[in-house]
């Protein structure tokens, strides 16, 4: 995101990278520690905007123009992973000491003035968001699948598959070959349906403990580095008093899922990436 004019109190070739927002009262009580900026030559610093304080760093527009950033994001995966990880680590460090509204990776303003013009009118809404976030935590649940193990379970225990298998065995030998080919495709379809059914069942059980929830896009193996496929990825906004019950519910679900080849990974608390916004 890019907005505004030129840097009012510095060089015209400087822009502002925005990590997130924190309550001004918390920064007054506990000043920001030293944090490296997105560019190694810079450090993060704060810009107070009424009751909200922005955590930012300066960027040189010759190195971080909108066009250059777009090219990097599309063509340089190593750079993207390094900078996205820095963004996440910075927000995690802030979250350990402050109430944080995290911004998406790549949120850039052309000037301090344009940043203030965006944030200042939202002061009351943001204060309300901070108050909500103080009483909640974001937790994530990801489910990974051993396809071979679940396939075996579907093949052995799915009643519809068993019925079709018996129907095929009653056919003349010549037709059995072609019908078995169709059966393999049918089992694959049942496999995908079973993945969804099992994961959604767990997700729906967990919703009762949350004030908000979201199902996110699954990550590919190139991102996870795992042999298993990620088959479910969800986030929950949990009141602090329900977190223990939430975790206990997941524990109760795990044995039956593992038996079928599904492994649950729960993590948190995280900065509230999915449930806070300055839009």
Read off the pLDDT of residues 123-168 as tens digits, 9 standing for 90 and up.
Answer: 999 999 999 999 999 999 999 999 888 888 877 766 666 666 656 6
Reported pTM: 0.78
Pair 18, 53: CB distance under 8 Å: no
Q: What is the pLDDT of residues 177-213, one digit of tens each?
A: 666 666 677 777 888 888 999 999 999 999 999 999 9
211-233: pLDDT as tens digits: 999 999 999 888 788 889 999 99
Q: What is the mean pLDDT of the chain?
A: 86
15-52: b or e for each residue (b if 16 or more CB lie within 10 Å)?
bbbbbbbbbbeebeeeebeebebbbeebebeebebeeb
User: CA 37 → CA 17, 206, 250, distances in Å?
Assistant: 9, 37, 38
Does residue 85 carry a pLDDT above 60?
A: yes
Distance CA 48, CA 159 (A): 63
pLDDT band at residue 4, thresholds of 50, 70 and 90?
A: very low
């Amino acid at each position: 995101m890019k907005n505004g004019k030129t840097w009012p109190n510095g060089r015209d070739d400087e822009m502002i990278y925005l990590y997130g927002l924190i309550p001004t009262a918390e920064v007054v009580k506990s000043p920001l520690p030293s944090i490296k900026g997105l560019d190694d030559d810079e450090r993060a610093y704060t810009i107070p905007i009424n009751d909200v304080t922005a955590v930012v760093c300066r960027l040189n527009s010759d190195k971080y123009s909108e066009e250059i950033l777009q090219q990097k994001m599309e063509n340089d995966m190593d750079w993207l992973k390094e900078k996205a990880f820095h963004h996440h680590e910075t927000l995690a460090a802030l979250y350990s000491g402050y109430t944080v509204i995290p911004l998406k990776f790549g949120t850039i303003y052309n000037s301090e003035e344009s940043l203030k013009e965006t944030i200042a009118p939202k002061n009351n809404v943001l204060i309300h968001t901070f108050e909500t976030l103080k009483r909640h935590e974001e937790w994530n649940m990801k489910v990974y699948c051993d396809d071979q193990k679940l396939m075996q379970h579907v093949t052995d225990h799915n009643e519809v598959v068993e019925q079709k298998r018996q129907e095929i065995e009653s056919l003349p030998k010549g037709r059995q070959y072609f019908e078995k080919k169709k059966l393999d495709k049918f089992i694959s379809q049942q496999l995908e349906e079973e993945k969804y059914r099992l994961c959604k069942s767990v997700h729906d059980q967990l919703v009762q403990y949350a004030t908000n929830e979201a199902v996110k896009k699954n990550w590919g193996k190139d991102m996870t580095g795992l042999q298993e496929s990620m088959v479910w990825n969800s986030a929950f906004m949990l009141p602090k008093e329900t977190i223990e019950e939430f975790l206990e519910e997941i524990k109760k679900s795990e044995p039956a899922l593992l038996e079928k080849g599904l492994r649950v990974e729960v993590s948190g608390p995280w900065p509230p990436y999915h449930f806070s916004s300055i839009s």
